[in-house]
Structure 1
Amino acid sequence: MVPGSAWGQFHEAVEAFFDLARTDADTARQLLWIITLRCRSLEDFDQDRRFLIGSGIPETLLPDALGLGRLDLRSRPG
């Protein structure tokens, strides 16, 4: 990555967003919302939530789908 490049600046901004989300509940919630916008099932949502937890964001700062207001999500059939 080239320092000062557009990609470098983007990477730094994303890292700063994740760093803040590790200590700030509102930021963690916003990040969860952004990451899970594409999700169409509860399983997809839970997978993305687990990714954020694995990235160091405390589970207590990340609501479940219902807590985030994702009433549109359903379990996959089967």
Structure 2
Amino acid sequence: MKSQTVFICIFMLSLLALHQCRQMDVGEIDSSSKLYVPKCVHSICKGFIKRDCWCCGPHCWDRLHDCDSSPLCPPP
């Protein structure tokens, strides 16, 4: 008797999940899975004097504009 009750509960939960999935707009799934990855990230450059810089990969610049416009940085 318990196994029939468990089977019915699982079946009802599956139907509820299927119903909720059919109501969801496909656009909601696409927009939630997109992540914005910036081309350049802010970092602290180490050297003789620690300073703020913008880096993409191993290359670093003092200004964000220089980093964004550099051909060494591939688009995200």
- What TM-score, normalized by structure 2, do the two folds share? 0.29
- What TM-score, normalized by structure 1, do the two folds share? 0.28
**Considering only CA atoms, is the larger Rg found in Structure 1 or Structure 2?**
2
- Which structure's relative contact order is higher, taking Cα pairs within 8 Å and 6+ residues apart? 1
